[in-house]
């Protein structure tokens, strides 16, 4: 098995605010992995510690404790950096450059001026920035700047892309375009690590999710496995004896009465047992509908449970 693309082991980082006694534990004992070739979504409410983690991963900050590996190296190792494309959360480009000028400058900084220049027109076209080659970046819309950030990250054809909130500040059409682009990278077997708090979007493209809240890991794992664990089922019956209702209510099964019948909502794991108990109590089971859980449902539940336990 190839080494994980990203590994965090017991990572902690506390910020000490100058001029005040305040300390912020931005990360505490965070461990997770992301595999090569996967799209991994790094999720959490504002202030959860996503940007701090990404800054540690990129080698811009150092952890107080714990270990981080990226493509098998320590953060900041040039052998890893050469293979990573990065789009920071808030980036600002030189307003008075054009996109081709900016990309040429980044190529020079990356030390691959000669063999990369031919990629610029292709990249601009891929990010729908062709036709604006002579426009100064200061005149770009927010969406164009975001796409230019991604073009910059793709310049050296990296195998790992790290994107901090790549769709923030974009309109729905712009977000859709960025997501389609990320899906294309996934199809090209690149590893993508992106932070976001727009869950329905990342759900469409991610293989793995890592959820942080208040600097702690809430859950990490494959999305399909996580969603399978929270699936629910709706069972409709013509009638529901009181003792059956009470017994199942104690196990978290909710009953809702409507004109057409009674609808029970239960965790997927209880489906068979519940349906059998209803049949044997003489109820007519009219319908059994699986209810697909979304990443948003899962996220809200996990964060709510996690915060409730604090
Ligand atoms: N340079 C810093 N100095 C002090 N506190 C910081 C610094 N960077 C982040 N923090 C604090 O760390 C916490 C996590 O922030 P951040 O990693 O930016 O979260 P997210 O990206 O998930 O919104 C926040 O409480 C934030 O205020
Ligand atoms: Mg952030």
Q: What is the pLDDT of residues 158-194, one digit of tens each?
A: 999 999 998 887 888 888 888 888 888 988 899 999 9
State whether the beta carbon of 43 lies less than 6 angstroms from ligand 1. Answer: no
Query: In angstroms, what is the span from residue 49 Cα to ligand 2's centroid?
Result: 7
| pLDDT recorded at residue 159 | 94
Q: pLDDT: is 211 or 226 the higher one?
A: 211
Which ligand is located closest to the Cα atom of residue 49?
1
Read off the pLDDT of each residue in 62-73 and give the average, rounded to a whole number.
96
Least confident among 48-62, 146-160, 224-238, 295-309 = 295-309
Q: Evaluate whether 87 touches 194 at the Cβ level (below 8 Å).
A: no
State whether the beta carbon of 47 lies less than 6 angstroms from ligand 1. Answer: yes
Pocket test for ligand 1, best of 18, 21, 22, 24 (most atoms within 8 A of CB): 24
CATH 3.40.50.300 fits 6-227, yes or no: yes
State whether the beta carbon of 25 lies less than 6 angstroms from ligand 1. Answer: no
Task: Categorize the per-residue pLDDT at 263 as very low, low, confident or very high, splitting at 50, 70 and 90.
Answer: very high
Pocket test for ligand 1, best of 52, 57, 60, 88 (most atoms within 8 A of CB): 52
Q: Is the pLDDT of residue 301 over 70?
A: yes
State whether the beta carbon of 44 lies less than 6 angstroms from ligand 1. Answer: yes
- For atom 27 of ligand 1, the residue with the nearest CA is 47
pLDDT in tens, 213-236: 999 999 999 998 888 777 788 999
Structure tokens at 259: 């004109």
Query: In angstroms, what is the span from residue 149 Cα to ligand 1's centroid?
Result: 22
Place of tokens 């965090």: 8
Q: Is the pLDDT of residue 302 over 90?
A: no
Structure tokens at 225: 């496995």
| pLDDT recorded at residue 195 | 95
| pLDDT recorded at residue 101 | 93
Q: Is the pLDDT of residue 114 over 70?
A: no
Cβ neighbourhood burial of 207 (10 Å; 0-12, 13-18, 19+): middle
| pLDDT recorded at residue 68 | 97
What ranges do the domains of the chain cover?
6-227, 232-291
Q: Is the pLDDT of residue 141 over 90?
A: no
| pLDDT recorded at residue 1 | 63
Q: pLDDT > 90: what percent of the chain? A: 53
Whole-structure pTM value: 0.83
State whether the beta carbon of 46 lies less than 6 angstroms from ligand 1. Answer: yes
Read off the pLDDT of each residue in 85-110 and give the average, rounded to a whole number.
89
| pLDDT recorded at residue 113 | 59
| pLDDT recorded at residue 260 | 78
Query: In angstroms, what is the span from residue 258 Cα to ligand 2's centroid?
Result: 45
Average pLDDT, the chain: 89
State the CB neighbour count (10 A cutoff) for residue 204: 13
Fold of 232-291: Alpha-Beta Plaits (3.30.70)
- For atom 17 of ligand 1, the residue with the nearest CA is 49
Rounded-to-integer distance, Cα 137 and Cα 96, Å: 6
Q: Is the pLDDT of residue 66 over 90?
A: yes
Query: In angstroms, what is the span from residue 5 Cα to ligand 2's centroid?
Result: 21
Give the atom of ligand 1 at the shortest distance from the alpha carbon of 49. Answer: 17
| pLDDT recorded at residue 2 | 73
Calculate the CA dihedral of residues 148, 153, 155, 157 and round it to 10 degrees.
Answer: -140
């Amino acid at each position: 098995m190839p080494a994980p693309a990203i590994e965090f082991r017991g990572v902690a980082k506390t910020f000490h605010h100058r001029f005040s006694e305040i300390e912020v534990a931005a990360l505490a004992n965070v461990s997770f992995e992301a595999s090569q070739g996967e799209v991994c979504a790094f999720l959490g409410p504002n202030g959860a510690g996503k940007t701090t983690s990404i800054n540690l991963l990129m080698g811009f900050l150092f952890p107080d404790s714990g270990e981080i590996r990226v493509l098998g190296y320590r953060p900041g190792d040039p052998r890893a950096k050469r293979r990573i494309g990065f789009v920071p959360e808030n980036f600002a480009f030189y307003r008075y450059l054009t996109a081709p000028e900016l990309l040429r400058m980044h190529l020079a900084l990356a030390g691959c001026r000669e063999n990369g220049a031919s990629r610029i027109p292709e990249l601009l076209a891929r990010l729908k920035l062709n036709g604006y080659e002579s426009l100064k970046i200061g005149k770009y819309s927010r969406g164009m700047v975001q796409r230019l950030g991604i073009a910059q990250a793709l310049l050296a054809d990296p195998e790992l892309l790290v994107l901090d909130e790549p769709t923030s500040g974009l309109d729905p059409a712009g977000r859709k375009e960025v997501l389609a682009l990320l899906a294309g990278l996934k199809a090209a077997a690149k590893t993508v690590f992106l932070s976001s708090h727009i869950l329905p979007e990342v759900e469409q493209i991610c293989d793995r999710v890592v959820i942080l809240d208040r600097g702690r890991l809430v859950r990490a794992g494959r999305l399909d496995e996580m969603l399978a664990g929270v699936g629910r089922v709706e069972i409709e019956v013509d009638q529901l004896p009181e003792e059956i209702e009470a017994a199942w209510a104690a196990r978290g099964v909710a009953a809702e009465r409507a004109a057409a019948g009674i609808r029970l909502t239960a965790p997927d794991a209880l489906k068979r047992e519940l349906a059998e108990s209803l049949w044997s109590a003489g109820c007519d089971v009219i319908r059994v509908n699986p209810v697909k859980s979304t990443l948003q449902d899962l996220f809200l539940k996990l964060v709510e449970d996690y915060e409730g336990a604090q």
